[in-house]
Structure 1
Amino acid sequence: MQTKKMIAYTSTLLVSLALVLGGCGNSGGNGAGTAPDTSTDTPKNNEQNKNASEESDKPVTLTAFLFNMDKRQALEETFKKFTEENPNITVDLLVNDQDYYTVLKTKIASNDMPDIVMGEYGDLLELGQAGHILDLAGDTYINNFSEQIRSQMTTPDGNVYGIPLDISGMGIYYNKDLFKQAGIDSFPKTQSEMLAAIDKLKANNITPFGLAVADGWTLAHSLFTTIAGTSDDVKSLAEEAKTGKPIASDRLTAGFKTLDMMYGNADPQAASNNYNASLSLLAQGKVAMLQQGYWAYSSIMDINPDVNLGFGAIPYSDNADETRLGVNINVSYAIAAKSAHQEAAKKLFDWLTTKEGNAIANNNMKQIPVIEGAEVTSNPIADDILSYVNAQKVVPWSQVLMNGSTRVEAESIMQSYFFKKKSADEVISEIAASWAKK
């Protein structure tokens, strides 16, 4: 049995992340490096404090609308712990992992927006600029984040529309035992090595990849990692894409060879598999590899706690120096501008960004904390991700710089690519056109 050990999110890790992720979603650090003015000496703020005090004495139920179904139980346990310490505040979860943004827009249009919502940077920027969620930049708990992490949260105008709970990685899970059975000594660092590994697996009657084509977002993620993994500056690429400039490049086109390897060497039921089915295939040793994010780890281990997994960066060329792992702050949580329970929601956010609260959340979710000093139980996948971070071999995610509609459109685009109804050039052109939409 593996001895449990603790990892703490430290300054060294933060600096390493800053070197490669610095400025993602922030054009100049506006509002990121200076503590916000939190003065409460005005009559208006005094009145707000009085109202907040009165509200704190009354039972409050917060509704949180989320899309991470596989983290539902973990978040419920986390919120229960918060309620133990704050008996007047409970949190009810509403989860939709299929058409989240469509449903959210419907709720907004019908004036039925939940108290708390979640989203990537681009989604929250869009919601914030439309006035649907609060700017949290002036809240004191924002200073619980390091300067480097705040730079990932802050818009060019100095606004902060949401708080992340963790950092996460996107790469390829691989079954170490199946690799050993096929005579593969280490995870491939180049496309040629990946092809050779696939051939060895097939020669030993081992299915190389699992896929979840029925859940188009999983294929969309394979496009997003390809875009990021073939770019030297994802942030600049995103800014250019938003102005209508093409994103096509020889490196990006060459990167599609990796997608072809994954798509062309998947299990026979790939076309009908959903997300959960793909996790089961990996956990049960029926496939050797699966592209997914770190968020999937707890669900995989729930299926088979004895599976022996590693986590590697996806190679998109034959230059091993270009192979980097996608690492970023994960999805963020925001407060509705029309919420009747804003102070209670902010109390929850305050708790989630303490070392204690963030450690509880991430131990439950089995994620990597975003708050410096928060300690969680380590595991082999977290260790693999942190090894890339410490080696400064990581790249930001491209999808966090897109809006929700572009990510949704990417799902059907990539399903068409899987079924060979679109070429790589068509995919690149269509996702660029969607990215440029206002």
Structure 2
Amino acid sequence: MMKRGFRKVVGVLLIGVMAISMLSGCGAKNKETGNKSNTGNTQVSDGGNESGKIIEINFPTSWVGVSSSTEWFNDRLKAFNEQYSDKYKVVVEEIAGDQAYVDKIKVLYSSKSLPDVISTGGYNLIDSMKDQMVDLTPYVDDQWKKSISEVCWDVNSRDGSIYGIPYSRQVIGYFYNKDLFEKAGIKEPAKTWDEFFAQCDKLLAAGITPVSMDTADSGWLTSLLLGAMIASDDEGEAFMNTSLPKNYNTKEFIDAAGMIQKLFQNYTTQDAIGGKYENGASNFFMEQTAIIANGPWMISDFYDANMVEEGFSDKIGTAMFPGDVMYNSGKIGFNIASKSEEQLKASLDFVKFMTSADSQLKMLEMTGEIPAEINVTSDNIYPLVTEVIENSNKAARNINDFQSLWYANVVDEISIQYPLLAQGQITPEEFATALTKAAEKN
């Protein structure tokens, strides 16, 4: 996530053991709120429920615990439940961790018991689950559609039908520690991948580990680097914007896999192999690494004294990937799988609330995620967020991320193959073949 999606930030002192909550009926932890108030949301209908009963909306989420979207979600959840206290109640089923969330949704899909509303934080489950999702096309009018960036509708639609309601865009480059760069004699971010590896050598010579990487949970940090490497030329850029590719046996992909193997074997931390995103983030926070690929949702943690030392944010710079590449695309939004008209209406009201201009503004200010709605802006955001957006506006190549476009089983396969690639047990060609074989199963 997502990952995509999902916000992938966790503090050094907060990383710990979190029990994976199961869904209702399977030991779920439910969160319910009460008191009525008014949020002034103009997109959502109001008034009492015609049936006279409170309709429960089931919504599992990974926006819990140390997820940086937790505060935003709790704010929006409370506001919705208060505004609709005489009509609806959202029953939240907490599942800690992006991969655990996706795995649980897959189980529910297999048993034909998807919840009312799903938000996978960027993971593409539409192609494998749209037969149980509601086609939302009839419920999205022209005014609503025009208010949202077109790239956001593109990634949430299949064959002309809308299956996801967008709320944010993916704008991703990488962050670097300016102090560590200066210590290594590096003046500015690399313009080419050859220069990038030369800078990695300079960092190593100065006693600094260059890059945060990972392999677990689809290897988010590593896969961002992989995608940017693939997009170094026209063919690679086209590949990274292709929905559901089945052939990874291309020169661009194999060359990029070779560079990833080189990074694993020479330029990252020992805990990268088998490690999760949290390991890579912690290493960057602790200044054990100089570079981390990620989106602007990470920026608020650069200012959080519970996660980093005071003044850490002043050390951080933003950069496009070599070749002026940026992830700049839509993100998978909210899906609905309600089984009855009554539940569908309730779910639509909830999703409209969560994706409203007010909610997107709060999301921008509280998490740093870039709104899907084109007119939502704020002066109350961190300067580094503005820098990331400016980088995206200057990028020569704009790509989408793997979690949004690749088959779900291919995303799963990455975590199996990365450790083998890193340890030299398979070649870049064999890595590409393994993903191709996984894609061909669909």
Which residue of 1 is the match for residue 411 of structure 2?
407
* Residue 360 of structure 1: how far off its partner (Å): 1.8
Gapped runs of 5+ residues in structure 2? 1-44
What is the DSSP-based 3-state SS (H/G/I as helix, E as strand, rest coil) of the residue aligned with 1:208?
strand
Per-residue CA deviations over 1:325-355 (Å, capped at 9, x if unaligned) read: 1122223110114266221221122223332
User: Residues 152 and 330 of structure 2 are in contact (CA less than 8 Å); yes or no, is this contact kept in structure 1?
Assistant: no
Which residue of 2 is the match for residue 428 of structure 1?
432
Report 1:11-160 matches (<5 A).
53-54=49-50, 58-67=53-62, 70=67, 71-87=69-85, 88-91=87-90, 92-95=92-95, 96-119=97-120, 120=122, 122-128=124-130, 130=131, 132-140=132-140, 142-143=144-145, 145-146=147-148, 148-149=150-151, 151-153=153-155, 155-160=157-162
1:166/1:251 Cα in 2 relative to 1: closer, same or farther (>3 Å)? Answer: same
User: Residues 271 and 279 of structure 2 are in contact (CA less than 8 Å); yes or no, is this contact kept in structure 1?
Assistant: no
Which residue of 2 is the match for residue 336 of structure 1?
337
* Distance in 2, Cα, partners of 1:139 & 1:159: 11
1:362/1:153 Cα in 2 relative to 1: closer, same or farther (>3 Å)? Answer: same
Superposed CA RMSD in Å reads 3.1
Q: Which AA in structure 2 matches 1:287? A: T
Using the size of structure 2 for normalisation, the TM-score is 0.75
Matched, 1:386 2:389: yes
* Distance in 2, Cα, partners of 1:329 & 1:81: 26
1:419/1:109 Cα in 2 relative to 1: closer, same or farther (>3 Å)? Answer: same
Which residue of 2 is the match for residue 313 of structure 1?
320
User: Residues 212 and 268 of structure 2 are in contact (CA less than 8 Å); yes or no, is this contact kept in structure 1?
Assistant: yes
* Residue 143 of structure 1: how far off its partner (Å): 2.5
* Residue 282 of structure 1: how far off its partner (Å): 0.9
User: Residues 297 and 366 of structure 1 are in contact (CA less than 8 Å); yes or no, is this contact kept in structure 2?
Assistant: yes
User: Residues 184 and 197 of structure 1 are in contact (CA less than 8 Å); yes or no, is this contact kept in structure 2?
Assistant: yes
What is the DSSP-based 3-state SS (H/G/I as helix, E as strand, rest coil) of the residue aligned with 1:327?
strand
Which residue of 1 is the match for residue 200 of structure 2?
198
User: Residues 324 and 395 of structure 2 are in contact (CA less than 8 Å); yes or no, is this contact kept in structure 1?
Assistant: no
1:223/1:327 Cα in 2 relative to 1: closer, same or farther (>3 Å)? Answer: same
Deviates more, 1:69-78 or 1:217-226: 217-226
Report 1:367-386 matches (<5 A).
367-376=369-378, 377-386=380-389
Per-residue CA deviations over 1:19-43 (Å, capped at 9, x if unaligned) read: xxxxxxxxxxxxxxxxxxxxxxxxx
* Distance in 2, Cα, partners of 1:52 & 1:133: 27
* Residue 237 of structure 1: how far off its partner (Å): 7.0
* Residue 182 of structure 1: how far off its partner (Å): 2.1
1:235/1:202 Cα in 2 relative to 1: closer, same or farther (>3 Å)? Answer: closer
Which residue of 2 is the match for residue 288 of structure 1?
290
Which residue of 1 is the match for residue 6 of structure 2?
none
User: Residues 76 and 93 of structure 1 are in contact (CA less than 8 Å); yes or no, is this contact kept in structure 2?
Assistant: no
Per-residue CA deviations over 1:62-88 (Å, capped at 9, x if unaligned) read: 222234562234322222233333334
Q: Which AA in structure 2 matches 1:419? A: Q
Q: Which AA in structure 2 matches 1:409? A: E
User: Residues 169 and 330 of structure 2 are in contact (CA less than 8 Å); yes or no, is this contact kept in structure 1?
Assistant: yes
* Residue 159 of structure 1: how far off its partner (Å): 0.6
Using the size of structure 1 for normalisation, the TM-score is 0.76
Which residue of 2 is the match for residue 185 of structure 1?
187
Q: Which AA in structure 2 matches 1:389? A: S
Matched, 1:327 2:328: yes
User: Residues 60 and 93 of structure 2 are in contact (CA less than 8 Å); yes or no, is this contact kept in structure 1?
Assistant: yes
Report 1:259-274 matches (<5 A).
259-263=260-264, 264-271=266-273, 273-274=275-276
* Residue 153 of structure 1: how far off its partner (Å): 4.0
* Residue 421 of structure 1: how far off its partner (Å): 1.6
Q: Which AA in structure 2 matches 1:325? A: M
What is the DSSP-based 3-state SS (H/G/I as helix, E as strand, rest coil) of the residue aligned with 1:395?
strand
Aligned residues: 379
Q: Which AA in structure 1 matches 2:94? A: L
Per-residue CA deviations over 1:155-191 (Å, capped at 9, x if unaligned) read: 3521110112111233322112221222211111112
Which residue of 1 is the match for residue 27 of structure 2?
none
1:257/1:271 Cα in 2 relative to 1: closer, same or farther (>3 Å)? Answer: closer
Which residue of 2 is the match for residue 12 of structure 1?
none
Gapped runs of 5+ residues in structure 1? 1-48, 316-321
* Residue 314 of structure 1: how far off its partner (Å): 2.8
* Distance in 1, Cα, partners of 2:162 & 2:388: 27
* Distance in 1, Cα, partners of 2:241 & 2:374: 29
1:138/1:223 Cα in 2 relative to 1: closer, same or farther (>3 Å)? Answer: same
* Distance in 2, Cα, partners of 1:297 & 1:416: 32
Q: Which AA in structure 1 matches 2:386? A: D
1:77/1:287 Cα in 2 relative to 1: closer, same or farther (>3 Å)? Answer: same
User: Residues 170 and 292 of structure 1 are in contact (CA less than 8 Å); yes or no, is this contact kept in structure 2?
Assistant: yes
User: Residues 231 and 238 of structure 2 are in contact (CA less than 8 Å); yes or no, is this contact kept in structure 1?
Assistant: no
Per-residue CA deviations over 1:114-147 (Å, capped at 9, x if unaligned) read: 211124474213321x2x1111111146426336
Larger relative contact order (C-alpha < 8 A, sep ≥ 6)? 1
* Residue 324 of structure 1: how far off its partner (Å): 0.8
User: Residues 121 and 332 of structure 1 are in contact (CA less than 8 Å); yes or no, is this contact kept in structure 2?
Assistant: no
User: Residues 171 and 325 of structure 1 are in contact (CA less than 8 Å); yes or no, is this contact kept in structure 2?
Assistant: yes
* Residue 224 of structure 1: how far off its partner (Å): 3.9
What is the DSSP-based 3-state SS (H/G/I as helix, E as strand, rest coil) of the residue aligned with 1:163?
coil
* Distance in 1, Cα, partners of 2:116 & 2:79: 19
Matched, 1:416 2:420: yes
* Distance in 2, Cα, partners of 1:261 & 1:313: 21
User: Residues 104 and 113 of structure 1 are in contact (CA less than 8 Å); yes or no, is this contact kept in structure 2?
Assistant: yes
* Residue 204 of structure 1: how far off its partner (Å): 2.0
Which residue of 2 is the match for residue 10 of structure 1?
none
* Residue 240 of structure 1: how far off its partner (Å): 8.9
